[in-house]
Structure 1
Amino acid sequence: MDARSQRVFLSVCSTLNFTRSAEALHLSVSAVSRTIQRLEEELGRPLLERDRRSMRLTVAGRALRDHAQRSLADWQALRRELSSESELAGEVSLFCSVTASYSVLSPVLERFRDAYPGVDIMLHTGDQADGLARVREGRDDVAVTLRPERLPSRLDFLALARSPLCLCIPTADCAVRRQLAVEAARSGAVDWASVPFIVPERGVTKVLIERWFEVQGIRRPRLYAQVAGHEAIVAMVALGLGVGFAPEIVMKSGGLASGVEALPLKEPLPELLIGLVSLASRLADPPVQALRDVAARTYPGPI
């Protein structure tokens, strides 16, 4: 089993979903499916049990998962052992959202490449809400994500930047924008229970949004959609499908910035802390520690 197949299989082990793994690995769903099928043919055993609603690992699948994790760890250790003492070499698996890849990571990676040309960065993108889980499960060495209120003791978090959480609304003339204007003009306040919301499926902002609903006395918010990733929320708001919460850094990045605007609230929403997270034990790996050090120099004192 080559390294590529190992990474595909470990991704499927974590997501238990071919589509999500394909998105994270920038592959087609058929390519992920073919990789799993080829591994099953080589082993002569099914690796996954599937039905219409769920997917789970078989006994053989769990055994192969453990083998693949050990194999990748051994390969990285061998590369470090064979590298010259004068030049740091190895590989760092890094996970972040698309927005973070160019708005937060870009200056870090530029400096890191110049300082450590012998270290390969394996960049994977997806919903930042998955960052903590991917690091805990060993799928990635480092992730750019939002700091949760309670950070597990096994994890190390390096703060890089802050971004306010905003309630974004469409700038285009649409039913949602007209509804907000009518409600505000009629009563001086918006009837939030009647406004369609686009909310995240999981993560730090989901917790904060649910808390905001409670403060507003909204027991059953009108949810237009639950989606993965703040970028998807901003895109759907720009299309006039509802209102949503997103970090300011996401609202102002990319090609949809002109399609949304932040709606001022009486009580400002909390600021979000963006940073690098890794297992504390992984900092013993020189390439991982080097990346953390470069990030700390690039973003001195964001708090």
Structure 2
Amino acid sequence: MELRHLRYFDAIAETLNFTRAAERLHVTQSTLSHQIRQLEEELGTPLFDRSGKQVRLTEAGEILRSHMTPALEQIDLGVQALRQPGEAITGSIRLGTTPSFNTRMVPQCVATLLNHYPGIAVSVEELAAGQILKRLRSGHLDIAVSYPPSDGGDLWFEPLYNEELRLVVGVHHPLARRRRVRMVELHDVRMVLLTPQFLTRKLLDDCFDQAGAEPLVVAQMNSVAPMIELIRQTDLAGIITETAVSQSADLRVIPLEDPTPIRTPGMLWPKGATRSPVLRHFAEIIRRAAGTAA
């Protein structure tokens, strides 16, 4: 087994597509397939299920990846450390994120990265999903945490988990003691929501239409943190992703149903872009944080 076999396996495991992995590795698809067959023969077990329309990791592949990814990461960091020892590793990462992830998850991930690499500069831009796509394509962002693009043929999207959007109210709100709330019950309820430029708002508007409800949207904001603070200080209700807000003494977070608003966040980056070892490490930090949030 050689290091290149593991690099090839990692690329396919990340994209679940032999053609895309070959493009990323700058090799032919036949070369890539041959190398993976060699690896599977050496290990004595298939690593990918190729029987359906979509390539999937087998159980053996999942086990190998869970142990191999940290090892590859350490190899990359070791090579870079030899070139730039210790805390001398410098550089920058430009991250785009939608508001929901910039209240808790993204700051936690950035903190973890900076603890590893104090010489790295991180720039975080809180944007609507459409703006994120534009800035990724223009080269102004290296990576993003957002939602799947409808026209993302030139971008990689790696789903992280499924998340519910939940009703958030103050403790004295009439709905505060409910275990669940149906969307139709939000008809004529005074609310604060994200502005219409956000995909999350469009999703909620669709859910309201399905339920036949028309809330009284008396405030609209382009960031989640001030929405939460406004809910604390008023009688307004809001709908926020469950990863962005937690139960507290002065707030209640309540599941919604009929329909339940659900989104699939993930990581986005431009196809063909070179990813430094530090950027790869940052992506792994995001994956681990997402695994905790899921």
TM-score category (smaller protein): 0.5 to 0.7
* Alignment partner, residue 214 of structure 1: 209
In the TM superposition, what is the alpha-carbon distance from 1:269 to its structure 2 partner? 1.9
Question: What is the number of equivalent residue pairs in this alignment?
Answer: 205
3-state SS in 1 of match to 2:272: helix
The one-letter amino acid paired with 2:142 is D
* Alignment partner, residue 273 of structure 1: 264
Aligned residue among 233, 238, 249 for 1:258? 249
In the TM superposition, what is the alpha-carbon distance from 1:162 to its structure 2 partner? 4.4
* 1:159-217 deviations in Å (ceiling 9; x for gaps): 44543210222213xxxx24x59xx9xxx996533211211113231121011111111
| Aligned positions of 1:1-303 closer than 5 A | 86-87=83-84, 89-96=90-97, 100=101, 103-105=104-106, 108-109=109-110, 112-113=113-114, 116=117, 120-127=120-127, 129=129, 130-145=131-146, 147-148=147-148, 150=150, 152-172=152-172, 177-178=173-174, 191-201=185-195, 202-218=197-213, 220-252=214-246, 257-267=248-258, 269-284=260-275, 287-296=278-287
Q: Does the Cα contact within 8 Å between 1:93 and 1:123 map onto a contact in 2?
A: yes
In the TM superposition, what is the alpha-carbon distance from 1:123 to its structure 2 partner? 2.4
Identity of aligned residues (%): 19
Question: Aligned in 2, Cα 1:103/1:288: closer, same or farther, shift over 3 Å?
Answer: same
Inter-partner Cα distance in structure 1 for 2:215 and 2:292? 38
5+ residue gaps, structure 2, are 1-79
3-state SS in 2 of match to 1:249: coil
Q: Does the Cα contact within 8 Å between 2:96 and 2:124 map onto a contact in 1?
A: yes
Question: Aligned in 2, Cα 1:104/1:138: closer, same or farther, shift over 3 Å?
Answer: same
Q: Does the Cα contact within 8 Å between 1:283 and 1:289 map onto a contact in 2?
A: no
* Alignment partner, residue 63 of structure 2: none
3-state SS in 2 of match to 1:148: coil
3-state SS in 2 of match to 1:238: helix
TM-score of the pair, normalised by structure 1:
0.53
The one-letter amino acid paired with 1:168 is V
The one-letter amino acid paired with 1:163 is E
Q: Does the Cα contact within 8 Å between 1:251 and 1:260 map onto a contact in 2?
A: no
Inter-partner Cα distance in structure 1 for 2:116 and 2:223? 32
* Alignment partner, residue 51 of structure 2: none
Q: Does the Cα contact within 8 Å between 1:233 and 1:245 map onto a contact in 2?
A: no
* 1:114-139 deviations in Å (ceiling 9; x for gaps): 65555x23223435645444333433
In the TM superposition, what is the alpha-carbon distance from 1:249 to its structure 2 partner? 1.8
The one-letter amino acid paired with 1:277 is L
In the TM superposition, what is the alpha-carbon distance from 1:291 to its structure 2 partner? 2.9
Inter-partner Cα distance in structure 2 for 1:191 and 1:92? 44
Q: Does the Cα contact within 8 Å between 1:92 and 1:121 map onto a contact in 2?
A: yes
3-state SS in 1 of match to 2:206: helix
The one-letter amino acid paired with 2:143 is V
5+ residue gaps, structure 1, are 1-82
* Alignment partner, residue 66 of structure 1: none
Q: Does the Cα contact within 8 Å between 1:159 and 1:275 map onto a contact in 2?
A: yes
Structure in which a larger fraction of residues adopt helix: 1
* 1:43-91 deviations in Å (ceiling 9; x for gaps): xxxxxxxxxxxxxxxxxxxxxxxxxxxxxxxxxxxxxxxx997236432
Inter-partner Cα distance in structure 2 for 1:189 and 1:301? 28
Question: Aligned in 2, Cα 1:132/1:231: closer, same or farther, shift over 3 Å?
Answer: farther
3-state SS in 2 of match to 1:215: helix
Question: Aligned in 2, Cα 1:85/1:154: closer, same or farther, shift over 3 Å?
Answer: farther
In the TM superposition, what is the alpha-carbon distance from 1:247 to its structure 2 partner? 0.8
Question: Aligned in 2, Cα 1:224/1:102: closer, same or farther, shift over 3 Å?
Answer: closer
3-state SS in 1 of match to 2:122: strand
The one-letter amino acid paired with 2:244 is V
